[in-house]
Structure 1
C-alpha cells in the first residue's frame, strides 16, 4: 500500500469521525436513479444580533424571544442573550464585575430573557439610552426558527414613535434602499460583530446620480463582540433625500440594520431588503397609509423599467399614473405613489418585461397627519417558504398581512401560548392568487401577556407576509412593520451511505 493510499485512508477516517459516516459513496456504488432525496433536518445552532435600540433617555424597549416547536429536535438546548460589550469583556479576559457600570455581573440595560421551552415566548424590558447591542445564541431545541423582536417607544424628539426590528442573523452583504442624509434625517447603519475575530466592512452609498464618492466608508473595523453605529451623513458631502446603502464584509461577518430618525415624521428601523432580483414583492402596506414612497436601485450597468402592480383584496391592479418606474443603472430612483391603497390592504408587486436586471427596493410608508405623522419601512421580502414567525404581538394592535402574487395558496397561522399564560390557537386561511388579505390573527385561549404568530405554507403558490404593530405614543399613531421571510429553521442534508470501496487501491 503506497503513501497516497495511506493518506486517503487517514483523510476518510477523519471525515467519518466528523460526519458519522455520512457521505462515503463512490460514483459506482449506487446505480442511476437510486439516490435518495435530501432530508430536511432542524438546525442545531442559531446566532442573532440586535442593534442598540436608542440613544434617547426616554426610550422604553422590549425584547421578545420565541422558538416555534419543530419536529425532530432533541430535548436539550438553551438560548441566551448577552450585551456585545459583555461578550467583548469575556473574550478579552476582562472581568465583568461592579465598578464598570454593571450590577452583579450583568451589564446595565441588558434585558433578562430566560426561555423555558419552545412554543412559549418570553419578554424582557429596558429603559433609557444606554441599552447596548445584544448578541444571542440558541442551541439544540431552541435553535430552529429562533426569532427575536426588538420594539422601542420614544415619546419625543427625533425619531419619536414606535420603532421595531427583527434581530438579524449575521451575514456578509446587505442592501438598504430607503436611507437618507436629507436635512432633518439622522440615519445610522449599525454593524454588530458576534464573532471572536474582527470584521472589516465597506459601506457604499448610491444616490440619484450614482455612487457617492467617498473613502470614509472603506475598511471599517468592527472589533470582536462589539457594535459600531455609523452616521451616514459622515460618508458623503452632499445631503441626499433617497439613498441605497450597500454593506459588504471583506472579512468576518456582521449583523446590520439602518436606524432612520426624522425630526418631524418619526422614525423606524430599515431592515435589509431581499437579495437583488428581477421580480420583487413588498408586502403589508397599511390600508390607512397616508403616503407611500418607492425607492429602487440596480447595480447593473443597464437601465430597466419596473412594472408596478398593487395586490389588493380583489386582485392585481395598476396604480393610475404609476404603471412603470424607470430605474437607471447604478442609481437610486424614488417615486411618490401617494395614497396608494385607498383604504384597502395592499402589497406592491414589481416585475420586468424584457431584458430584466437584478433590483433591490423598499417602501417608506407614512401614517397620520401634520405633527402626528409617523414613518415605517417595508423592504422587499423573501417568501414565507415553509415557515415564518412574528415574535411580538399583543391582544390589540397586531395585523397580519399575507399576499399570494402568482397562485392561490393555503396557509396555517398559529398563535402561540402567551408570555404569562394561555393556550395556542390555529386557523387555516386561503389567499387567492393576486390578492392581499389583512388578517386579524387568531389569539391564544386565555391569553395573558404577548404572543407569537407562526405562518406555515400548506399548499399552492408562494406567499409573502408582513406584520404591523400599532400603538399610540403620546397621541401619535405609532406603527412598525416587519416582513416575514422563511425562518430557515431546517436545512437540507443529502443522504449518503458508508462505502469503504473508495479506499481500495487501484
Structure 2
C-alpha cells in the first residue's frame, strides 16, 4: 500500500471523527453491546399556526404564549408569532369557498411585519392583542430553549352577531390529516375550515364531508391550493348544497402540510372553534364537560369499512356511570352518527368515555356543549383527545373564570399542576393531586402568588394510569355564559433520540 493510499485512509478517518459519523449498533453484532434505549431530549424547533380569529368588527382577540422551563435545553433560542403573508407570485390558490381568496393573489416577496408577540424567557407568559375583522392568521416559530412545549392560545370575544360570545383555540402544529366530527351546514350555522400553510411551497388539500347517509359528493373540495405563508378559510356551505345538522369533515393534504381548525358559528347559540379529534381509535376520552352544561350532543364517525359499537359512560367525580337511555352507540361505517345526551353531567364534573362493546373499530368523536337557556345560550366543542403523556400546558388563564378538569378513566393517577409566573408579575406555585380511577375532578388549580396578568397551567402525571385534561375559560357578558374549552394533550416537548455510537468501520464497507 503506497504512501498516498495511507494518507487518504488517515484523512478519511479524521474527517469521520470530526463530523461525528455514527451508526446504530445492531443487536447481536459481533462484539457489540445490546442496543441502548432511546434518550428523551427536548425538541429544538416548534411551529404553531393560529387561524384568523374573526370576521366581526366587534372582535377583541388576545394571544398568550408560554414555554415551560425544560431541563436539558441550552441557553440560546428565540420565538415569535407574526402574520402569515403570501409570498409566491405564481400560486394564486383556489378561491372557491375562501373568504379572502383575493389576498392570496398578492405578488412579491413576503412582507416583513412586526411580530404580534415575542417571548422573553421560558416560564413566563407573554401576551398580545388584536381588534376587529382584519386580524390575519399567524405563524409562529420557536427555537432552542423556547421550543419544548411551546403553547399559544388564541382567545376572542365577540360582543354581538353570529357566533357572539367567547371563542378559543390552541394554535396547532402543521400536519397532513385532520378529522372534525361536529361541523354543520344546517340553517343557522356558518362553519369555515381554516387552512394555514407555514411553508415556502404551496399545499394542496382535499376536504371531504360525511353526513348521516355517508360521503357527500363534491368536486369543489378537491385540490384546494393554499399558497405559501397564507391562510384560506373555506366555507363549508360552498362545498355542498345539502343541509346537514351533523357533519364529519376530513382534511387530507395531498402535498405539503397545513394547520387546520373549524370555526363553527351559530346565529342564536354563539359559537367556538372545533379542534381536530385525535386520530381514529377504538377507545376515546372526551374530557372536561362543564358541570352546568344544559345540553351535550355526541357526534361520532368511523372511517373504516366496519360498523362500530361503543359503550358510552360518564366519568363523574364518584366513578364511571352509564347515561340512562344512552348505554351504547352504534356508528355505521362511513356515516356520521349523533345522539343528544341532554344535561348529562347533572351539576357535576364529567368526561365522556367511549369503549368498544366487542371488536375494536377506529372512531373519531366530538361533543357539542351548550350552557345557558333560550336567547342566552352559548356553545363550545370538546373533541376526543390523547392523554397528557409527559406534560401538557394551558397558556391563557386568569385568577377567575378558569376551570381545569382531570380524568383518570382506567387507573388512579397522581398529577402535579404548576401555575406559572404571571405575564405581569407573580411567583410560580405547584400542587399535587390524586385522581381516582374512573373519575373526573374539577380541581382547585393553583394560582401564582402575587399574580398580575395571565398565567399558564402545566400538567405533569407522576404515577398511575393515563390522565386526560381540559381547561374551560368562562366570561359572562350581559347574562350570556360565554365559555370555551381546550383539551390538553401531550405538548410534544420531548423527542426520543436513538442512542448512537461512532463506528469508523462503516468507511471500510
Q: Does TM, normalized by the shorter one, top 0.5?
A: yes
Q: CA deviation at 1:209?
A: 0.2
Q: Which deviations, in whole Å up to 9, do the C-alpha atoms of 1:354-390 show, x marking residues without a partner? A: 2221000000000001111000000000000000000
Cα distance between partner residues in 2 of 1:275 and 1:47: 20
Change (3 A) 1:60 1:29: same
Cα distance between partner residues in 1 of 2:365 and 2:71: 35
Equivalent position to 1:369, from 352, 369, 373: 373
Q: Which deviations, in whole Å up to 9, do the C-alpha atoms of 1:167-194 show, x marking residues without a partner? A: 0000000000000000000000000000
Equivalent position to 1:113, from 99, 108, 117: 117
Contact 1:58 1:128 in 2 (8 A): yes
Structure 1 window deviating more from structure 2 (214-223 vs 301-310): it is 301-310
Change (3 A) 1:13 1:298: farther
Q: Paired residue for 1:394? A: 398
Q: Paired residue for 1:5? A: none
Secondary structure at the residue paired with 2:85?
helix
1:229 paired with 2:233, answer yes
Secondary structure at the residue paired with 1:322?
coil
Q: Paired residue for 2:71? A: 71
Change (3 A) 1:290 1:38: same
Equivalent position to 2:189, from 172, 185, 192: 185
Cα distance between partner residues in 2 of 1:69 and 1:33: 35
1:156 paired with 2:160, answer yes
> Aligned-residue CA RMSD in angstroms?
2.2
1:139-178 alignment, distance < 5 Å = 139-178=143-182
Secondary structure at the residue paired with 1:411?
strand
Equivalent position to 1:464, from 462, 468, 485: 468
Secondary structure at the residue paired with 1:417?
coil
Q: CA deviation at 1:41?
A: 0.3
Cα distance between partner residues in 1 of 2:243 and 2:31: 64
Secondary structure at the residue paired with 1:233?
helix
Q: Paired residue for 1:47? A: 47
Change (3 A) 1:106 1:35: closer
Change (3 A) 1:95 1:195: closer
1:337 paired with 2:352, answer no
Equivalent position to 2:279, from 275, 282, 290: 275
Contact 1:22 1:495 in 2 (8 A): no
Contact 1:265 1:373 in 2 (8 A): yes
Cα distance between partner residues in 2 of 1:113 and 1:245: 32
Equivalent position to 2:418, from 378, 390, 414: 414
Cα distance between partner residues in 2 of 1:447 and 1:95: 39
Secondary structure at the residue paired with 1:413?
strand
Cα distance between partner residues in 2 of 1:332 and 1:13: 62
Contact 1:23 1:495 in 2 (8 A): no
Secondary structure at the residue paired with 1:236?
coil
Q: Paired residue for 1:320? A: 324
Q: Which deviations, in whole Å up to 9, do the C-alpha atoms of 1:389-410 show, x marking residues without a partner? A: 0000001000000000000000
Q: Paired residue for 2:109? A: 94
Gaps of 5+ in 1: 2-8, 97-104
Cα distance between partner residues in 2 of 1:474 and 1:86: 39
Change (3 A) 1:422 1:303: same
Q: Tell me the TM-score normalized by structure 1.
A: 0.92
Cα distance between partner residues in 1 of 2:12 and 2:236: 49
Q: CA deviation at 1:112?
A: 3.0
Equivalent position to 1:358, from 338, 350, 362: 362
Q: CA deviation at 1:499?
A: 1.4
Residues paired across the two proteins, number:
486
Secondary structure at the residue paired with 1:501?
helix
Contact 2:470 2:488 in 1 (8 A): yes
Change (3 A) 1:386 1:13: farther
1:201-350 alignment, distance < 5 Å = 201-350=205-354
Q: CA deviation at 1:473?
A: 2.8
Secondary structure at the residue paired with 1:414?
strand
Q: Paired residue for 1:100? A: none
Q: Paired residue for 1:59? A: 59
1:427 paired with 2:442, answer no
Change (3 A) 1:172 1:78: same
Contact 1:44 1:140 in 2 (8 A): yes
Cα distance between partner residues in 2 of 1:195 and 1:16: 35
Q: CA deviation at 1:25?
A: 3.5
Q: Which deviations, in whole Å up to 9, do the C-alpha atoms of 1:306-340 show, x marking residues without a partner? A: 10010000000001000001111100000000010
Q: CA deviation at 1:219?
A: 0.3
Q: CA deviation at 1:92?
A: 6.9
Q: Paired residue for 1:6? A: none
Change (3 A) 1:171 1:13: farther
Cα distance between partner residues in 2 of 1:24 and 1:427: 41
Q: CA deviation at 1:35?
A: 1.9
Q: CA deviation at 1:269?
A: 0.1
Contact 1:287 1:345 in 2 (8 A): yes
Cα distance between partner residues in 2 of 1:29 and 1:484: 43
Change (3 A) 1:60 1:24: same
